[in-house]
Structure 1
């Protein structure tokens, strides 16, 4: 069943790029005791994700933080090297670029999409959440476009 408002976000080990290469981080640690905006994209360097989704959170990071958000996390079914390169390409220093390389986190949330027909494998759906101390306070999912998952939509909901 898809994660719902009021549910606890599952604790998974994922990867971020550290100074010596990919480093393990736990979602439970990233979310504990904090207000976090977490958004997911189907793939790094893909058109909508690169042209609008990630850039919106980069541009609005200060406004989002001013509403009491401790951190902004972007996750995708890509490896830590790709997520790091994509973040650097978009000056996303204020966004944690979290790699869900095996889609395990997306699967645990029941927020995957099967893109094997397009040679892309299992990917995350496009979503955005506001999470308070590990509990989902808001969950928006967009099947197409960015109507409810954009930085502007999340900023309006904070």
Structure 2
């Protein structure tokens, strides 16, 4: 079942990228008591994700946070080392990277896609969501191959 507005984020474990290395974090703890803009992409370093999606959130981070968002986080079915390298290469220090290496989070929220045709296996769909104290307040899932409703500009217009 796909997660919807009003649903609580399911309990899973993600790997937060930190300067000190990977750090396991429960989704319950990560989203508790604050507002998080969560963005999911099919893969770090993939063309749209690197050229448009992440840079948009880097560029608009201050405006998003000025609207009451405590943290902007990106997740992908990649390991923490890839997510850390992506953050560094994109100069995205203000963005939290949450590795979903086995796709457990993507599966739990019901937003997976089959990238086998491209040699990528099961990945996360592209989406953005606004999570308030663990509950989905906004959800913007892209149609396959699209990049419109999950952009920083679109999410900013909804907050």
Which consecutive residues of structure 1, in runs of 5 or more, have no partner in the other structure? none
Q: What's the CA shift string for 1:105-139, capped at 9, x where partnerless?
A: 00001100011122101000001001110000110
User: Paired residue for 2:67?
Assistant: 67
Answering whether residue 14 of structure 2 is matched by residue 14 of structure 1, we say yes
Q: CA deviation at 1:29?
A: 1.2
2:152 alignment partner in structure 1: 151
Once structures 1 and 2 are overlaid, which stretch shifts more, 17-26 or 106-115?
Answer: 17-26
- Deviation (angstroms), 1:22: 1.5
TM-score of the two chains, using structure 2 as the length reference: 0.96
1:111 — aligned with what?
111
Show the counterpart of 1:42.
42
* Counterpart secondary structure, 2:74: strand
Deviates more, 1:89-98 or 1:73-82: 89-98
Q: Offset at 1:19?
A: 3.8
Secondary structure in structure 2 of the residue aligned to 1:37: strand
When the two structures are superposed, what TM-score results if normalisation uses the length of structure 1?
0.97
Query: 4+ residue runs of structure 1 moved beyond 4 angstroms?
Result: none
Work out the number of aligned pairs and report it: 158
Unaligned 5+ runs, structure 2: none
In the other structure, the counterpart of 2:23 is 23
Task: After superposition, give the CA deviation of every residue in 1:44-91 in whole Å (9 maximum; x if it has no partner).
Answer: 000000000011001100000000000001000000000000001111
Please show how residues 85-96 of structure 1 align to structure 2 within 5 Å: 85-96=85-96
Question: In structure 2, what is the Cα distance between the partners aligned to 1:18 and 1:150?
Answer: 24
User: Which secondary structure state, in structure 2, belongs to the residue aligned with residue 146 of structure 1?
Assistant: coil
Q: Secondary structure at the match of 2:87?
A: helix
Distance across 2 between alignment mates of 1:18 and 1:8: 25
Question: What is the alpha-carbon root mean square deviation over aligned residues?
Answer: 0.9
Which stretch shows the higher mean deviation, 58-67 or 25-34? 25-34
